[in-house]
Amino acid sequence: MLDNVLSFFGFGEGTPATEEVGIKRKHVRLDGRGVRIGIGKNIYPVHDWNISGISFHTTPEDYVKLKETVTMRIGFPFLPETVYVEQEAVICRCAHRGVSAAVFTAMEPATRRQFERVIDNYHAQGFLRSQQVA
């Protein structure tokens, strides 16, 4: 019972309403504020992401199925434009309400370069923010 309560608040082994496939993270996650993904006709806000996978918020009305292979269109907002990257992924955590996750399938070299460019832009923005006088 205590495990279920702790899990509900994100402190336990996993949420009872969540299905998950055992995959460990290999890369540092980046904040997903402002990032959106499109899967089919649905658009989801992103929780966090890295070059190997992404986690996003779902609702009971538009959740995804565990182990399903999907094509994602990920939009990264940068000034003056939004960078879009399309990538296939396999759903590895499915939450009917909460945070679902997907692991990217093998990437084409061009797609990997796009992700690396996005990561470089995130680091450049962080550096510029750190240099601003308050």
8 A C-beta contact, residue 64 and residue 54? no
In a domain, 36, yes or no: yes
Q: Classify residue 95 as left (phi > 0), alpha (psi -120 to 50) or beta.
A: beta
What's the gap between Cα 27 and its chain centre?
Answer: 12
Domain with residue 61: its CATH number is: 2.40.10.220
pLDDT of residue 133: 75
23 lies in a domain? yes
Residue 2: inside a domain: no
Looking at the structure of the chain, the number of domains it has is 1
Asked if residue 5 is part of any domain, the answer here is no
> Is residue 47 situated within a structural domain?
yes
Torsion 122-51-22-42 (CA) sign: positive
Angle at 104 between CA 100 and CA 107, to 5 degrees: 165
pLDDT in tens, the chain (134 residues): 566 555 555 555 544 444 455 555 566 788 888 899 999 889 999 999 998 899 999 887 777 888 999 999 999 998 788 999 999 999 998 887 788 899 999 999 999 999 999 999 888 888 888 888 76
Coil, helix or strand for 1?
coil
Residue 85's domain spans which residues?
A: 14-129
Q: Which of 94, 98, 45 is nearest to 70 (CA)?
A: 94
Q: Give a yes or no: residue 1 inside a domain.
A: no
Residue 9 falls inside a structural domain: no
**Of 99, 115, 117, nearest in space to 107 by CA:** 115
Tell me if 8 is assigned to some domain: no
